Chain A
């Protein structure tokens, strides 16, 4: 079946469209959204198995030959990310049932979630730089709808900032694509990878590479372009926040990884060193924020920024250990961020506030929640058997092998800050004097807790069984480090 790699994009698109037909029937909405997300996950899993077995899958839309049509390329890296994002959307849909509220469910909430899923999966799969722009717009449109969905005052205020920043960065994206097109005359990523090494004037290409770093840096929230993220992500309700935190910035990270390994490799001495320095600054800026706030949402939000820095530092080293570590850490981070947002969401519901100072003593009444959170926090910091460890280890190793050994030292040191920031939530919310809590129905509590626990269990499995996943990761890293594999796959037809 040659079109298999399009199924993770088309299935959510079709289901989202069907969901628009009957917004008021909540049970049908939930059922169909769940079926759509599950079917997408199934398709993504098949795709991953197929790519692992048969190598890179390529479809050029409309039966046109490769550089002229839009190529959709699924290598192990993108298949892995598509599978992970589909998994997370499934859990977000499950977690939305008890938390999002009937009024939101009745106004196209699940449609927007599935449209976002289609955009994210498309951005991970596409092999055409302008098509990447279109898919990024698809997911941004859906995210605009989700960030303002419900119309609370804070949401309205933050959505204006979010819109403004993203519109400006999207306009810059178009300008960057226009520059690239005028220099190379092509938009197909594989064709770009062929044409760019033939161009002798690397000065203009370096400028374009930095421009793309700015564009994707806005989406991925790197230093100093992360300023919009903490306030904007604080506004929407928790399932939406989990969706954003797990997926949206990662699309920017993916785009940087793809462009900086596939074709912007003509002047690595400048561009990749810049990337490494920015990545380290991103980590430091995130650490400052993670320690500064007494708000559970803000603490985890700043941890998103730290993780973006860690992943990009791994990529900037351009050696096997660094890139493998970045891929492992990317997959780990998508899952653990969703799980952590789910868990602090439950904590915030129980206390009726997200302020840490007004919390305490939860471990006596909700022990399961407490220990699940502790495992997730350890996973985030990278305590050895858990999922954050192998990725970070490889990234640090890559740093020591590469030119920026000092970056590895910063990453090791900041791991302690990450642990401290996550443990602070545990210490304040679960230890100490019990504080009066809002009564919570047992069924609602379980409906929130069970998806979160399963997701934490999956991350634990991902960490303990890292050896099982290594063939996928090393295969993905191989394609990133050898662009010729990617080029041959696209042009073989």
Chain B
């Protein structure tokens, strides 16, 4: 028998977006303040887990149709290719580049190729966490 959890589901609908926004904030803040790809990824995964708790694994699979193993693999590829890009410029591996740009809306912003590496880390963390939780959750 399924209990009526309208409270949990309504709160989840609001809180999930808050968590996701906070995850993105933490992810981009990582270069100058505490944060980065790892915590950002964990927070994102926690938002998806909250959805799963409230709505069940099958529903979440329908609304977030992502193959998390592929996500992990893509994340690894992003991280490795960021590091390997240095091969093209014939500088030691993992050498990063940065510069300041005048973006519309943001103003003067420093963009750093370490961000791309962090995107890889983020994807791997979300992918691995969700693979673990989904696999155990679906196990009969």
Contact = CB atoms under 8 A, between A and B. Distances in A.
B86 A3 contact: yes
B72 interface: yes
A14 interface: yes
A21 B70 contact: yes
Interface string B66-78: 0001101100110
A10 B73 contact: no
B72 A20 contact: yes
A23 B94 CA distance: 29
A156 B76 CA distance: 28
B20 to A, nearest CB: 26
A86 B107 CA distance: 50
Contacts of A59: 92-93
B87 interface: yes
A63 interface: yes
B86 A14 contact: no
B73 A13 contact: no
Given A10-B80, A14-B80, A17-B80, A3 B73 contact: no
Interface in A1-38: 1-3, 6, 10, 13-14, 17-18, 20-21, 23
Point out which of B69, B84, B94 has the most chain A C-beta atoms below 10 A from its C-beta. Answer: B94
B91 interface: yes
Contacts of B90: 1-3
Nearest to A16: B76
A248 B89 CA distance: 35
Contacts of A6: 93
Contact of A17 (B77, B92, B94, B96): B77
A62 interface: yes
A61 interface: yes
B77 A3 contact: no
Interface string B86-118: 110011111110000000000000000000000
Contact of B92 (A13, A18, A20, A60): A60
A100 to B, nearest CB: 20
A33 to B, nearest CB: 15
Contacts of A13: 76, 80
A3 B83 CA distance: 11
B94 A62 contact: yes
Point out which of A6, A17, A72 has the most chain B C-beta atoms below 10 A from its C-beta. Answer: A17
Contact of A3 (B72, B92, B96): B92
Contacts of A10: 80, 84
A72 B86 CA distance: 15
B72 A61 contact: no
Contacts of B70: 20-21
B87 A14 contact: no
Contact of B95 (A1, A14, A21, A63): A63
Q: When A and B form their complex, which 5 residue pairs have the shortest distance between CB atoms, in order from nearest?
A: A20-B73, A61-B94, A63-B95, A17-B76, A62-B94
25 contacts: A1-B87, A1-B90, A3-B86, A3-B90, A3-B92, A10-B84, A13-B76, A13-B80, A14-B77, A14-B80, A14-B84, A17-B76, A17-B80, A18-B73, A18-B77, A20-B69, A20-B70, A20-B73, A20-B76, A21-B70, A21-B73, A59-B93, A61-B92, A61-B94, A61-B95
Interface of B: 69-70, 72-73, 76-77, 80, 84, 86-87, 90-96
